[in-house]
Amino acid sequence: MGSEMCIRDRVNYETVPSVIYTHPEIAWVGKTEQQLKADGEEFRVGMFPFVANGRALAANDNDGMVKVIADAKTDRILGVHVLGAQASELIAQAVISMEFSASAEDLGLIMFAHPTLSEGMHEAALGAAGHAIHMINKPSRGK
């Protein structure tokens, strides 16, 4: 291999997704609210239920939600959790965003096709700053 770096040396283990293939599926990447609270970190949370997602409603598979956790100061995405249809596919958007140090606002500025399940990721990212479009915005639960 010479002086070339092995791909194993370049893997960001903070952005490795986890998936449980049940119905509904469960997927997550990054930190949980509990971990951040234990570390004393300040954060904001945006959540979007699939019951408010047009594609999930049309498919009659609207159990679940998307949660985006962002740093309170920098807005950098710290963790994403998805419970519901296609969670194993949706989590890739979060992994890519986190790998490139995106903020929740960055994810919220991206145009998503409509109607899609991925709009749940978009709405949760917008919700972290209280700007979700298709639901009532609640105050963040973060520290």
| 48 DSSP assignment | E
Separation between Cα atoms, residue 129 and residue 8, nearest integer Å: 35
Question: What Å distances lie between residue 59 and 11, 12, 97, 119, CA to CA?
Answer: 36, 35, 27, 15
Q: SS3 of 85, please? A: coil
Separation between Cα atoms, residue 29 and residue 82, nearest integer Å: 9
Q: Give yes or no for a contact between 137 and 130, defined as CB atoms under 8 angstroms apart.
A: yes
From 81, 114, 122, 134, the catalytic residue: 114
Q: Which amino acid is residue 95, in one-letter code?
A: V
Residue 114 among the catalytic residues: yes
Q: SS3 of 12, please? A: coil
Helix (H) or strand (E) holding 91: helix 87-99
Provide the annotated active-site residues. 114
